[in-house]
Structure 1
Amino acid sequence: MNRAVTLRVAACGLLGLGAALLIAALLLSTYTTSRIQKIPLDLDATLVSNGTGSALDPDSLSQQNFVIDKNVPLVSQQQISVESPANADVVTLQVGTSVRRTDKQKDNGLLLAMVDTVTLDRSTAEAVSDETHPGGSVQKPRSIDDAKAPTNIALPHEGLSYRFPFDTEKKTYPFFDPIAQKAFDANYEGEEDVNGLTTYRFTQNVGYDADGKLVKPIRYASLYDDEVDSEVTAMASQWGVPGEPEERITMQRFYAAQRTFWVDPVSGTIVKAEEHANHYYARDELRPEVALVDYKVTSTQETVEDQVAAARDERDKIALWSRILPITFTAAGLIALVAGALLGSFGMRAEAELIDPGLDRDEGGFFGGFASRRGEDTGPMPAAEAETEKLPAQRPDLHREQGPPNQP
C-alpha cells in the first residue's frame, strides 16, 4: 500500500471518528441527560431531627389529670425505602415517621407514628395516580399486641412528596402533608449555603400564617375506625380546665405546622429540614387548651452531612453526563475532523505527485525540492553546460634530431 492510500484511509477514519464523537456529544447533552435526571431506585435513608417541646406524659392518661411536660427532649425520625412499583418511570417510597420523647423508655416515649406510601414520577417528583400506580396510602395504626399484618388505607397524594424535582426553580411548589392529607404551598425564600452546598430555602405553612400565628388549623383526620384519637371526651378535672370537676367535656384534635426545607436545586434532594408542629386539643380551633405535642426539631449534623453527600453524588453524576462528557467528546470530535481534513489534503497531493512527479516541482508543491534533497538528477547543472577547452592530442618534439646542414 503506497503512502497516498495510507493517508487517505487515515483521513477517512479520523473524519468518521470526529463525526461519531460530535453525534455522541449531542445525544449525551439531550437524550441521555433526561435519562440520568431521575430519582434513584436504591434510596435507603434515615433522617433524624432533634429538638425540644411540650408533650403529654403518656403515663398520665390513666390518672386523674393529664400532665403536660415542658421543654422535653424530642427526636423525629424518617426511614425512607423503595417499594414496588419501581421502574424506569416511577418510584414508590415508603416513609415511616415517628416523634418520641428521648427521656422515656421504648414505647412509653412514642408520641406520633405514621407509615406513608406514595408513588412518584422519577423526573418531576410529583405523585402519580392511575390504574397501574397507586396514588398513595397510609398504614392503619396497630396496637402493641396486634399480631395481624398491617393494612393500608388509600390516601391519594398530590404535588411533591419528600423531595423536590431536578433543576428546582425559584418558585412555589405544592408539597403534600400526609397528616393534613392535602398539599400546601412551599414558597421559595432565597439561597443559603449548607455545608458548602448552595441550596434553595423553601417554607411551608400549614394552619399558620407567615408570622407563626394560628389562622386555619387542620382538623385531625383519625386513622382509627372509631376516631378515638381525633375526638376525646374527659372530665374537666382531667383536662385541667375551669368548670365543674366532673363535667364531661369533648375536645377536638387539631394540627398545624411550619416547615423549612433546604433543597439542592440540581438534584432536588432535601439536605436539611426544620419543623415546628403542634398537635393539640381544643373546643375552639384557634384557642389550644391541651397540648398533645408542640415541638420544633432540626436535622442533625450527621443527617445534613449524609444528605449533602448524596446531593453531591447526584450532582457529579449529572455533570459527568450532561457537561463533562459532551464537552470532551465535542473537543475530541473537532480535533479529529481537523486532523482528518489535513490528512486528506496531504493524501491528495501525495497521490498527484505519484501520478505526475513534475506537477509540483516548479512551485514548491508537496514534494517540491524533495528529489533535489535526495541528490537525484532533476536537470542539467550550470557547470555541466560550460564548454570545455580542447587540449592538443600530441605534444611537440622539442628534441628532434637536427639533420646535416643544408648544402648550398
Structure 2
Amino acid sequence: MSSAGETSSPDDRSSPERASSAEDLTAENLTPSRPSRLSTKDLVGPVLIFVGGFLLAAAIALPTLFVDNLRTIPLSTDVTTVAPAASPARVLDRCSLASPTARVVDADLTRQQRFVAVRPADADRVTLQAGTSVRAEHLRIDGREVDPEAPRAGSDARPAAGASACTDPIMGAVRDRITLDRVTALPDLTAAAGQQGSSEIQYDSNSAPVRVPDRDGYTYLMPFGVSTADHTFFDVTTRRTVPLRYTGDTTVAGRDVARFVAVVPDTDLHQIDNGDAQSTPPTIITRPAGWFGVPGVDPARSVSATLHHSGRWELAVDTTTGTIVDAHIAVDETYRFIDTTLPDRRLTSMSATFAYDDRTQRRLTEHATALAAPITVWGRVVPLIAAVVGVATIVAGLAVINPAWRPRRWRPSAAPDADPPASS
C-alpha cells in the first residue's frame, strides 16, 4: 500500500510533457524570423527592364541633345583651296603703265585661298581669317611665254612710293577677318564675354583694314543642314550682299551637293575706297588718252579711269555640313573713264573664270565626309541600335518576370511526380 507521500495525480504525471511543450512554444516565439532574400533569378527581370528603359531614353536623347552640339563650325577649321583660271585669262600688264600704250595679255592665273579659325572664339562664336590671292604663273607677250618676274618693256621704271614692282606675280590679294555664329554661320558682331565681333577687310598691305559693321550673308562656308532655298552671299571685293539662289543638285567627287549662284553687279572699286593709285591693282589710273587708245581725242590729253568689278559665283555646297566643295568664280574687272563725255572704251584689268582643281574638290569632299560621320553615327546609327536593343531587353525582362509572356515552348513544364492539384 502506498503511502500518502508516494501518491501522485494524473496532472503530476503529465507536468514534464506540458513543461516541454511550453518551452518549445516559447522558443518559437522568441526566435526572430529571417527576411526572405531575392535570388539572382528574381533580379534578372527588373534589371533587364531598367537597362531597356535606359537604352530607349538614350535613343531619344542622342539626336535631340548630343548631336546638336556637333552641328557647329569647328574651332579647328583650316581650309585651303586652289582654283586655276580657265584659258584664256586676260590681264593688264602692269609694266605697261610705264610704256607708251596699254598692254593686255593672256595669262595663266591661279586663285589661292586659305581660311582658319582664330580668336575671338568660344562655344557660340568663331572668327575666320581668310587670305585670298591671284597669282600669274605665266604671261604670253607677243606670242612668247614670259615669266611674270622677268624684265620687260616698262619694268625698268621705279615704282611709286608704296607700290609694288610691276614684275610682282601677285595680281591682287585680300585679307578678310569675320566673326561668325557657329550655328547659323552668319556674321555676329555683338560684344560677348568682353570681346567685340570682328569684321574688317584689308585690300592692300600698305593700307589700313576697312571695317564692315553691316556685313551679312555667307562667304566661306554655310551652316550644317543648310536648306535648298535662296540665301544671301557677301562679296568681299565689292562689300555687297547679294542674293544666293538655289539652282538644283549635282555631284562633286562622288558626293551629292546643291548648287547656288550669286551674281555680283558692276561696282566702282575706287568709289567704295578699297584701293588707290598705288594699290595692287590700282583702283585709279591717270594717263594720256593715247595710252588708252581713245579715238577722236587729243592723245596728249590726260584722262583718268577707275577700276570696275563684276562677277558671278557658282557654289557647290554639301548641305549636311555646309562645306563649299566646289566653286566657279567669274571675274570681270575693267577700267572706265570718269569723264562720261569720253567714248565708252573699257580697258581690261582682269577677265578670268576660276574653278577648284580636282585635288581641292577631293580634299573638301573628304572634309565634308569627316564632319558628317559623327552626325550620322550618333544621330542615326547609335539611336536605331539602342532603340532596337532597348525594346528587346524590356520584352526579355517582362518574359522573365511573367512566364505567360514567354512563347509556349519556352514556358517551364510541371514536374512529372508533382502532386495533382487538390480537388474541392
TM-score normalized by structure 2? 0.75
| 2:112 is the alignment partner of 1:84 | no
What are the superposed Cα offsets for residues 332-358 of structure 1, whole Å, 9 maximum, x if unpaired?
Answer: 111111111111214999xxxxxxxxx
CA distance in 2 between counterparts of 1:348 and 1:332 reads 18
CA distance in 1 between counterparts of 2:368 and 2:105 reads 38
- Local SS of the residue matching 1:108: coil
Give the match for residue 246 of structure 1. 300
Larger radius of gyration: 1
CA distance in 1 between counterparts of 2:353 and 2:36 reads 82
The AA in structure 2 aligned to 1:26 is: I
Distance 1:330 1:139, change over 3 A: same
Give the match for residue 138 of structure 1. 201
Give the match for residue 84 of structure 2. 50
CA distance in 2 between counterparts of 1:95 and 1:82 reads 9
- Local SS of the residue matching 2:59: helix
CA distance in 1 between counterparts of 2:313 and 2:410 reads 77
From 350, 356, 368, give the equivalent of 1:293.
350
The correspondence of residues 8-407 of structure 1 with structure 2, limited to 5 A, is 8-51=42-85, 52=87, 53-70=89-106, 72-103=107-138, 104-105=147-148, 108-132=168-192, 133-139=196-202, 141-143=204-206, 151-156=208-213, 157-207=215-265, 217-220=266-269, 221-224=272-275, 229-242=282-295, 243-283=297-337, 289-346=346-403, 368-370=413-415, 372=416, 376=417, 378=419
Distance 1:140 1:280, change over 3 A: closer
Distance 1:325 1:288, change over 3 A: farther
CA distance in 2 between counterparts of 1:237 and 1:74 reads 29
CA distance in 2 between counterparts of 1:343 and 1:273 reads 61
Distance 1:163 1:28, change over 3 A: same
Distance 1:83 1:151, change over 3 A: farther
Distance 1:226 1:76, change over 3 A: closer
Aligned length: 345
CA-CA distance at 1:5 after TM superposition: 2.8
Distance 1:369 1:281, change over 3 A: same
Q: Is the 8 A contact 1:58 1:109 kept in 2?
A: no
CA-CA distance at 1:4 after TM superposition: 6.4
CA distance in 2 between counterparts of 1:154 and 1:226 reads 21
CA-CA distance at 1:158 after TM superposition: 0.8
Q: Is the 8 A contact 2:398 2:405 kept in 1?
A: no
Moved over 6 A (4+): 1-4, 225-228
Distance 1:377 1:334, change over 3 A: closer
Ranges in structure 1 where 5+ consecutive residues have no aligned partner = 144-149, 208-216, 350-363, 380-408
Distance 1:178 1:278, change over 3 A: same
The AA in structure 1 aligned to 2:224 is: F
Distance 1:224 1:343, change over 3 A: same
CA distance in 2 between counterparts of 1:198 and 1:175 reads 21
State the superposition RMSD in angstroms.
2.8
- Local SS of the residue matching 2:39: helix
Distance 1:5 1:185, change over 3 A: same
Name the % identity: 25
CA-CA distance at 1:331 after TM superposition: 1.0
